[in-house]
């Protein structure tokens, strides 16, 4: 069974190392985070020239990796072998080579830390993969669901010792999406520019992440929930005039998520702030927005809006056989939503 990335990172930071790690999945963030953490701690800087090796799958094969792993460190307690793109290793698909990896994982050299960065999905049922759990860890790094992102961003900031407001969290998630590496890079960029006692709020995000104070998805969604026709059309026109910076697809995803939650508000029996926050899986700070949208949009209208969003998505993909500019689709969508 795969171990969670957070537990593995916690152990590595405490300098508790395993002799073998098999890191895999479609989200590179944790694969890179774990391999980087090991690279920073297993071998001291003065010993890295002799006892740390970063290999690449396309340039070597399974036999070569095992050869490196079975060497003893030079005048050091440990050596570190990191294999990037291990899914491209020569022979990795062949059963005899998989058997050799399995044998090494079951009988590793404990003075070696071997890390396979398998930048793809892997079948944990395969015996050579399962073998890494005997003396080490199999760690899956998978794409994060959009509804988990706000809590993840808040938790990451807390771990870095900086406070972030709920609105700032939502702005970053709405504008960056589930690219964890980019999210963390933007957070670090912000932190470099913060005063010691300063947290991350909406104004800070606007200034350092380059999100327009007025023309962003967060403000667009707010204009729609308020049924502010003028503001919604003004932002839609800005998006239409700058399609590269404001593609339609992410806007539709965000609006679909928002109005799906508004639908839940209508059908929820417990309409208290605490009850709705739990039902919607959102920070209580945002419950008032969903409640206001539910008051402004009756249940039948919300159902129609979700239909309009699906229809717009289909037309954007050309499923009606007609190519319509995204800007026109967005303006038409705004009209259908607010009228």
Domain ranges of the chain: 5-140, 146-209, 217-338
Give this prediction's pTM.
Answer: 0.71
Q: 250-255 — which CB contacts under 8 Å span 24+ positions?
A: 250/177, 250/217, 251/217, 251/220, 251/330, 252/309, 252/312, 252/313, 252/316, 253/146, 254/174, 254/217, 254/221, 255/221, 255/224, 255/309
Q: Is 217-338 the same fold as 146-209? A: no
Q: Using an 8 Å Cβ cutoff, are 199 and 162 in contact?
A: yes
The per-residue pLDDT for 98 is: 95
Q: Using an 8 Å Cβ cutoff, are 199 and 164 in contact?
A: yes
Is CATH 3.40.1280.10 what the domain over 217-338 is classified as, yes or no? Answer: no
Domain at 5-140: CATH code: 3.40.50.300
The per-residue pLDDT for 1 is: 56
Taking the C-alpha atoms of residue 314 and residue 241, their distance in angstroms, rounded to an integer, is 22
Q: Could you say which architecture CATH assigns to the domain 146-209?
A: Orthogonal Bundle (1.10)
pLDDT in tens, the chain (339 residues): 568 899 999 999 999 999 999 999 988 999 999 999 999 999 999 999 999 999 999 999 999 999 999 999 998 999 999 999 999 999 999 999 999 999 999 999 999 999 999 988 888 889 999 999 999 999 999 888 888 888 899 999 998 889 999 989 988 888 888 889 989 999 998 998 888 888 999 889 888 887 777 788 888 999 999 999 999 999 999 999 888 888 999 899 989 999 999 999 999 999 999 999 999 988 888 899 999 999 999 999 999 999 999 999 999 988 766 778 899 999 999 999 999
The per-residue pLDDT for 310 is: 95
């Amino acid at each position: 069974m795969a171990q969670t990335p957070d537990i593995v990172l916690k152990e590595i930071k405490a300098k508790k190392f395993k002799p073998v790690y098999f890191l895999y999945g479609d989200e590179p963030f944790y694969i890179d985070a774990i391999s980087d953490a090991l690279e920073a701690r297993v071998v001291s800087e003065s010993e890295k020239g002799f006892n740390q090796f970063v290999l690449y799958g396309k340039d070597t094969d399974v036999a070569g990796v095992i050869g490196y792993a079975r060497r003893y460190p030079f005048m050091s307690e440990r050596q570190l072998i990191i294999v990037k793109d291990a899914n491209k290793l020569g022979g990795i698909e062949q059963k005899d080579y998989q058997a050799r990896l399995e044998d090494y994982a079951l009988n590793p050299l404990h003075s070696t830390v071997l890390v396979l960065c398998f930048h793809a999905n892997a079948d944990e049922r395969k015996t050579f993969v399962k073998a890494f759990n005997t003396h080490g860890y199999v760690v899956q790094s998978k794409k994060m669901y959009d509804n988990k992102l706000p809590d993840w961003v808040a938790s990451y900031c807390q771990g870095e010792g900086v406070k972030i407001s709920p609105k700032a969290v939502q702005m970053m998630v709405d504008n960056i999406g589930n690219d964890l590496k980019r999210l963390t890079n933007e957070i670090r960029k912000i932190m470099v520019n913060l005063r010691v006692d300063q947290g991350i709020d909406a104004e800070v995000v606007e200034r350092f992440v380059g999100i327009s104070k007025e023309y962003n998805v967060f403000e667009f969604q707010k204009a729609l929930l308020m049924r502010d026709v003028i503001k919604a059309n003004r932002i839609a026109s800005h998006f239409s005039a700058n399609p590269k910076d404001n593609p339609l697809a992410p806007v539709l995803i965000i609006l679909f998520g928002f109005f799906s939650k508004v639908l839940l508000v209508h059908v929820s029996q417990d309409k208290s702030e605490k009850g709705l926050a739990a039902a919607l899986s959102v920070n209580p700070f945002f419950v008032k927005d969903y409640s206001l949208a539910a008051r402004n949009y009756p249940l039948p209208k919300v159902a129609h809006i979700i239909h309009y969003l699906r229809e717009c998505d289909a037309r954007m993909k050309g499923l009606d056989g007609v190519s319509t500019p995204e800007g026109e689709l967005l303006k038409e969508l705004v009209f259908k939503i607010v009228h």
